[in-house]
Amino acid sequence: MQSPRLFPLLLKATLLLMLFNFAFPLLSGLPLGKLSLYNKVFPGRERFPFGENQRGYNLSLFNLDAMFAAHVLVGAPKADDEYRVLLIGDSSVWGTLLTPEQNLAGQLNSQNISACGKNVRAYNLGYPYISLLQELMILDEALQYQPDMIVWLTTLESFPKEKQFGAPLVANSPDRVKRLITNYQLPLNPDDPALNHPTTSNQTFTSRRKDLANLIRLQLYGVPWSATGIDQFYPKSYEPAQTDFEADDSFYDIKKSEPLRDQLSLDILDAGLNATDLPMILVNEPILISDGANSDIRYNFFYPRWAYDQYRVMLAEYTSSRNQPYLDLWNLVPNDEFTNSGVHLTPFGESLLAAQVGDAIQNFCE
């Protein structure tokens, strides 16, 4: 067989590569993230993929389609006797430092509780980083998976307006954010520079190679996940949550003199609570109430007392005014049952929370 000539071969290869590279944006509408081996070859993950430590067989990627496709929720056919509860929230719901069995969803499922004559099956849709907009985005997507009830666990840190576009998942999902803004008529700027708006040049194959590699890596991690059931790195030790503070009562740029409500994104909470007619329980999640230095000024690293106290009053009034089922569990957990942050609980702390949430699910089911 005659060998091909070198120069024409290189030229053709280069042209084909360039063509493929620049034609790649045409594929941007394809939901590549939905192509997944999870729930088919590998069992679905009990929580969303998150983390950069390879020892956790996990990674963070900003593709909600792929995150859902890897989640057990998508692959779990709903049984007639299943009462499907979706847990929305931040890293405390996701379960930082906790195994899938120890976090809130795991503990609720191990309780074998029933609601409205059906068996409660809780799904962990928490995701690290605190932003109401991120939580709304996940809730909006999750509604298509036949839930019977939503439990939305939140905390003041999710509310400040300036935090909403800060979540990497939000910042990297501009199309979804635009849809949310339109569908829920949110008073947000769809062209906010905090959103990573796609341009033709950053949609090429070479620009998106890391996103694509991450999709493949997520699939490959399916093997160790299936083999071990481990989906995050558990360090032998961690820095305990801070309990001594500076004498500082600031909370973002929010002024004490102005009404707190005006500084928070209650409209996003509104949108979420109005997103469905399904029963929805709002939970003000437990926080660390420190007794260390300057704890008369701050409850914990996140919250000065004045802001958090105002927030609790505001949220109680807000939920009461709209007859919204609401649990204020802020002081449920003793301060030695927090791990590395003022909102991350130990397994025992989670069990206290699970007991309360479990009761509420039974009480508020329809």
- Minimum CB separation of residue 217 from another protein in Å reads 7
- Token pair of 162, please? 């300036």
* Beta pairing partners, 345: 338
**C-beta neighbour count of 361 within 10 angstroms:** 24
* Beta pairing partners, 321: none
Rounded Cα distance, 226 and 41, in Å: 9
Using CB under 8 A as the binding rule, whether residue 5 contacts another protein is answered as: yes
Nearer CB in complex with another protein: 18/223: 223
Contact 278, 149 (CB under 8 A): yes
Contact 281, 329 (CB under 8 A): no
Question: Which of the stretches 5-13, 309-317, 335-343, 344-352 binds another protein when contact is defined by CB under 8 A?
Answer: 5-13
| DSSP code of residue 344 | P
Using CB under 8 A as the binding rule, whether residue 37 contacts another protein is answered as: no
- Minimum CB separation of residue 216 from another protein in Å reads 7
Binding-site size for another protein (CB under 8 A) equals 19
Rounded Cα distance, 122 and 142, in Å: 13
Binding mask 39-58 for another protein (x = CB under 8 A): ---------------xx-x-
- Token pair of 305, please? 């007392």
| DSSP code of residue 71 | B
Nearer CB in complex with another protein: 216/247: 216
Q: How far from each other are the two terminal CA atoms of the chain, in whole angstroms?
A: 75
Nearer CB in complex with another protein: 9/23: 9
- Minimum CB separation of residue 61 from another protein in Å reads 14
- Contact pick of 182, 199, 228, 363 for another protein (by CB under 8 A): 228
For another protein, the binding residues in 103-122 under the rule CB under 8 A are none
Using CB under 8 A as the binding rule, whether residue 217 contacts another protein is answered as: yes
Nearer CB in complex with another protein: 57/338: 57
- Contact pick of 51, 166, 229, 325 for another protein (by CB under 8 A): 229
- Contact pick of 15, 18, 212, 220 for another protein (by CB under 8 A): 220
**C-beta neighbour count of 9 within 10 angstroms:** 11
Contacts of 286 (CB under 8 A, 6+ apart): 329, 330, 331, 332, 333, 343, 345, 349, 352, 353
Nearest to 293 by CA among 363, 243, 224, 232: 243
Question: Which of the stretches 1-9, 155-163, 169-177, 270-278 binds another protein when contact is defined by CB under 8 A?
Answer: 1-9
Using CB under 8 A as the binding rule, whether residue 9 contacts another protein is answered as: yes
| DSSP code of residue 345 | B
Using CB under 8 A as the binding rule, whether residue 3 contacts another protein is answered as: yes
**Residues contributing to the site for another protein (CB under 8 A):** 3-6, 9, 54-55, 57, 216-217, 220-221, 223-224, 226-230
